[in-house]
Structure 1
Amino acid sequence: MNDQLFSVPGISCGHCATAIRHEVGAVPGVRHVDVDLAGKTVRVTGGEERAIRAAIAEAGYEAA
């Protein structure tokens, strides 16, 4: 299964990362979530892109 990389310019702290990991990790099919604060990216293994984007939005952030 391929990784998907999302740019999330609004992430800036550990709380942001935790919120995103929690919401995206609950998406069916997602096996791994890695948040890179310095790069402001979220790498996700598994899951559907639309559902992942919705989960990032639910956490309070926008995937560019």
Structure 2
Amino acid sequence: MHKIIKIEGMTCGHCAQRVETLLNQMENVSARVYLEQNAADVDVGAQVSDETLRAVVENAGFQVTSIE
């Protein structure tokens, strides 16, 4: 399943890399984070909930504005 996570608070490449690394450490998740778009392009297994994705990003110190 493909999702786009809109993220606020990333100000540099290090921020984007941190979010990407944390998402990719999750089981059944493949993510690419784009600083310029303030978004993560994510492929997830059906068992991965939006709430889990949101928690990983927000626990890293960033705000999720939407998951589509």
Pairwise same-fold verdict (TM > 0.5): yes
Aligned counterparts, 1:41-60, within 5 A: 41-46=39-44, 47-60=48-61
CA displacement at 1:27 relative to structure 2: 2.1
Q: CA RMSD in A?
A: 1.2
CA displacement at 1:18 relative to structure 2: 1.4
The answer to whether structure 1 residue 15 and structure 2 residue 14 are counterparts is yes
- Structure 2 counterpart SS, 1:4: strand
The structure with more strand, counted as a fraction of residues: 2
Q: Report what 1:63 is aligned to.
A: 64
Give the TM-score normalised by the residue count of structure 2. 0.78
Structure 2 residues not aligned, in runs of 5+ = none
The answer to whether structure 1 residue 40 and structure 2 residue 41 are counterparts is no
CA displacement at 1:60 relative to structure 2: 1.1
Query: What is the alpha-carbon distance in structure 2 between the residues aligned to residue 13 and residue 57 of structure 1?
Result: 17
Give the TM-score normalised by the residue count of structure 1. 0.82
Identity of aligned residues (%): 23
Query: What is the alpha-carbon distance in structure 2 between the residues aligned to residue 9 and residue 57 of structure 1?
Result: 10
